[in-house]
Structure 1
C-alpha cells in the first residue's frame, strides 16, 4: 500500500513538474512573441550616432522649424551672415574589403548645381560629393534665403564664397549657392580657393598670418608622448586588429579607413543599395557585429579629436576667426556692404572652431553642419549706445542653436572683437610667435 502511495505521489510530482515547465516555456514564448511583434524600442546607440552623422536631406528640410534660432533677433536688422560649413555626403576616401566604391553614384562635374533636372549619375571617385551631399547643401542654401529674407538683388556683388581645394567642398559650395540663388548661374570660377583646411591665408603683408603653422607638428608629437595617448592608442589598435581579423587579415587597414567605411556605408551605400544591414559587410550575411562597430565609431572619433586641444585649436583657427572679424568690421565702419560670406570646409574646420568658441560637445560634426556668425544692427532709438561697436550685435549659432558665452547668446560687436583679438593670440605677432615657438602667451 505504501509502495503504491509513493508511486502515485511520484507520478503527481512529475506531472506537476511537466506542467510547470510547459507553462514557463509558453510564458517565455509569449513574452518573446510580444517583444517581437511590439514596436521596436528606441534606436540603438550605434544607429543614433550614425544617423546624427549622416544629417539626412529630410532632416535638413525641417531646419526652418522653431528649434532653429537663425535669423531671429528683435528690434534689429540683419547686416551680414557668415557661414562655415562641412561638406555634404561623400563617397569613401579609402578602399577596404567592406567598401564597394564602384557602387557610389555621383553627378558629372558640370551637373552638380543644376536645379532644373535630375542629372545622370556615374561611379564616384574617392571622397567625391554624392548627389545626396549636393542636395543637403542646396536645402541649406534655400533655408538661408528664407531665414534671412535674402533676394538675389540683395546678394548681387555682396556675396563671397571660399572653399578648400577639394572636390567635395567646392561642389558643396556650388550647391549651397544654387539653393541660395534658386538657379545655376553661379560658377566654380567665382569661388576663392585655399589650400588650408582652416582658411589660413598665404603669408603676406595683408594679414601676416601663416598658411601653415610650423610648430603644430611638434605640439602634436608632444601630445602623443603622453601616457593618456599611449593608453588610448593601445586600445584603438586592439579594436582595429579585431576588424582586420574579420576582414581577412588586411593588416594595412587603419582605424581611420575602417571608421570611414562604417560612416559611408550607413549614410550612403546602405540606402542606395537597399542594404538592410546597419554595419558594412564583406558579403551577404557576413557583416560586422553592432557591438564591435560601435567600438570602431567611438575609437575613430576619439582618434580624430585627440589632437585638437584648446591650444592647437586656437593656433589652427585664429586666422579664420580674424577674417570673420575683419568682414564684420568693414560693415560696421561703413567700408563694405558684404551680405553673405561662405567658407566651405571639413569636420576638421568646424572642430577647432567649436573648441575655440566653447561649443564643442565631443562629437564629430555631421555632414552639412554649419556655424553661423550673424551681424545685426539695432534700431537707433531702441538703445543707449553711443558707438557703432555697441549698436552692432553678434550672434553665433551651431546647427541652429545659439552658442552662449558667459550665459549670453548675443553680445556687441565690440565685445566679440575684443574676445577674439585680445585673447590668447592678442596680435598677429603673438600668433606668429606661437607658431614659431609652440607656446601661447596668456
Structure 2
C-alpha cells in the first residue's frame, strides 16, 4: 500500500494533520492540499487512490470529482449531522467521514474505498480479500508454482498478474493461455512449440508459450480442462524445466514460472481419475483459494465504483438506493457479473447518477416447479439426461477423444468441453480419455 497516494484536502493545515499522520503510519502516501485547485493539480501529476475532502472549507469539491482520472471522494466533517452526509453522497461522494481525527476511522474508510496504485486492477477492501492479497504478496517473490482456485469470475487472472508484477520477473513477459478454449490437438503445439513441417501448414518453426514466457510468468488458465495425454507432457516440462517442440530433435531449456488456475476442486478430479495426482502436486506447491464476491461484501461498492470510472466518463455516481441494491445481491457470477451490471446501468442511467432502477441483474434460476408444471419439468429432465447419455456413449465409442466426440455430435470442441463441465457440476462422472481407454482395453 505504500505507493498508494491519498489526497487530504482542507483549507486549514490543522484539519489535514491528523489524517496525514494516520495515513503515513499505515504506509500510504498522503498528499496534502489546501484547495480544490491544488488537489486537481495533484491528480494531474499522478494516480491518486482516494481523496479525503473537508467539504465546508474548500468550496465546491465536485469540481475534483468531475475531473478526468479523479479518484473517489470521501467528504469529511467532524460532528456533521445525517442530512449533511446524505447530501454529500447525493452530490457524488462515495462515503462520509464524521471523525477525521480518529486514525482508526480514517484507515477504515481508506481501506474500503481507495483504488490501489500500480494498475493491478485489484480491489482489496474486504478483510478476506486483504488476507488473500497478503498471501499473494508474500509468495510473489518466491520462485514456486502457484495454484489459484476459485469460482468463475472471481478475478483469478487479476491475481495472477499481481503475482507477476510483484515478483522478480516483473520485467519479463506475462503470457496467458486459456486451456479450456483451445482444442486439444492445438494446445500441445501452442504450449510447447513446433518445428517446420511438423504438420500441414507449419511452414516455419515456432516457439511455444513456455519459451515465449521464459524469464517471466506463464498463466495456465483452467488447467483442469487439459486432457490426460497432455497432462503427462506438462508434468515432464515442470519436472525437467525444458520443452521439446513437436518434431524437435533436442530439448529447449525454459526459465518460466507457472501460475495455474481452476474453478474445479482438483482433489476431486484426482480422486475420480480425471487429473493426474503427480501433476496436481507439481502445480499445488502454493495453493491460494479466492473467495466468491458474496463472501467479501466490502469489495462490492469499491469494485462498482471502479467500473463506473473505467466504463463511463468518470462522472457517474451511485445513489444510496443503488448501493443498497448492489450489497443485497448474491452475485452468483462474481466480479464479472458486477461489471456487466454496471455497464448496463451506465447505458440506462439518466444523467450522472446511477439509481436502483438502472441496475438489471441476470435472470434468477427458475423456482421449483409447481404440481401443474411437473410434466414440463420431467420433460426437461428427460431431455437433459438423454443428452448426458449421448455424450457419455459417444465418448466411450471414441475412447474419450474430445475432438472425435465433438465431430460425431456435430458441435465444436469448445461446446463439448462446456457441456462436460456442466455435467460434472451436476454430479455426472465423466472419465478422462485414459480412463475410457482402460475400460475398453
TM-score between both structures, scaled by the size of structure 2: 0.23
Q: Greater relative contact order (Cα 8 A, min sep 6): structure 1 or 2?
A: 1
Larger Rg over CA atoms: 1
- Name the TM-score, length of structure 1 as normaliser: 0.23
